[in-house]
Chain A
Amino acid sequence: MAKLNHLPFEDWLLSEETLTQEEAGRLQEHLQGCEVCSMLALALSEVDRELRAAPVLPPVAGFVNRWQARLEAERQKLHRRQTFFTMLLSIGGAMFFFALLAIVLLPVILSPWPVLLALVYELTSTFSFVSVIGEALLTVLRALFDLFPVTQWAAIWLAFAGLGALWVVALHRLTLPRRIIT
């Protein structure tokens, strides 16, 4: 109940807002009779004075230099960290690659003969296949050569050369950079 009696006045004291004439009069009247509120008013004015009188403290001289040194240290730390992570990533990657390689090559290392035999077989098969294809191509070419006389072959070659030249010129014209008029 006693607290309730102080409520508007305490709020008025604590608020920085300007009071109306009537409110100011009521507050003054209350302060004259209320020890609690008058003590609060006095304490508030002293706290205000104390805080407003306290200076804005400066840091110790050389603050900017210390900041620059700290920035440099921070940069170096970041650089070291980046280098460390790059190395870690590279070493990790290399280790992973070697591990995979080891898994793949392990059977070969342990017993190389079946693999070598398979390799020889593959090489022989490929060679035989290439020989057969080559023979077939030669047969076709021989047949074609016998089909036309030499002069007709020359004419066909010339016609192909002319078409090729025409294609190159057309391509060159089409891909020329166009001028942009602004």
Chain B
Amino acid sequence: MQDNETVWLTRARKGDAEAFSRLIELYQRPVYNLCYRMLNDGGDAEDAAQETFLRAYKSMKEYDPNRPFPTWLLSIAAHYCIDQIRKRRMAVVSMEDLPYPEISDDAPGPESTISRKEEQGRVHALLETLNPTDRAAVVMYYWYDFSYDEIGETLSLSLSAVKSRLHRARLSMAQEWINQQPRAGTAERTRHGKAQSPAF
């Protein structure tokens, strides 16, 4: 697969659209997921992901082969989404109206769909509390297990800036979580007694 990718990359750098399509097949999911988590709208995420690949295709000659291709691709996607959010300042919409992309499931019953929607809603509410750059850092950290260095490289930030942003983002999300479920959180805590720190 790695060899194929290298071949596709080499051909794509020469302007071969077919080879680039192969790369899209490989990376459509992480790029789309990043766009969806950033923009929280299926249509906008599709548009942003398409635009990301279009921009990447046009800039293939500028791509440095020594740099990991997914990092470069996600960097384009993240910057595009950050710009989009800043431009439009997303309108506040009702949680019930939010569109959710279909997730393949072996037995998608109505209960699991509702539960998934609720889960998506909670994740969205958490991400919504963050500014666009912090949100991108969080998505890369939690969904793609990017290191601080990789996040810094992708978002053009220094290591200390990444740490500081993630620190701030986690605090903000934790506070949002507490505000969302004040009673549930307290009840949970009372039930289990001492809380365990995620630092351990």
Contact = CB atoms under 8 A, between A and B. Distances in A.
A40 B29 CA distance: 33
A68 interface: yes
Interface string A40-56: 11111111101111111
Given A51-B126, A58-B103, A71-B17, 5 more contacts: A12-B197, A44-B170, A59-B46, A63-B46, A63-B50
Give the bracket for the number of chain B residues in contact with chain A.
35 or more
Interface of B: 17, 21, 24-25, 28-30, 32-33, 36-37, 42, 45-46, 49-50, 53-54, 57, 101-104, 119-120, 122-123, 126, 138, 142-143, 163, 166-167, 170-171, 173-175, 177-178, 185-186, 188-189, 194-200
Contacts of A64: 21, 24-25, 28
Interface residues of A, number: 45
Given A14-B171, A59-B28, A60-B102, A48 B126 contact: no
Closest A-B pairs by Cβ, 9 of them: A43-B174, A42-B195, A59-B32, A51-B142, A43-B177, A38-B195, A56-B33, A45-B198, A41-B195
Contacts of A163: none
A12 B199 contact: yes
Given A47-B173, A68-B21, A41 B196 contact: yes
B49 to A, nearest CB: 6
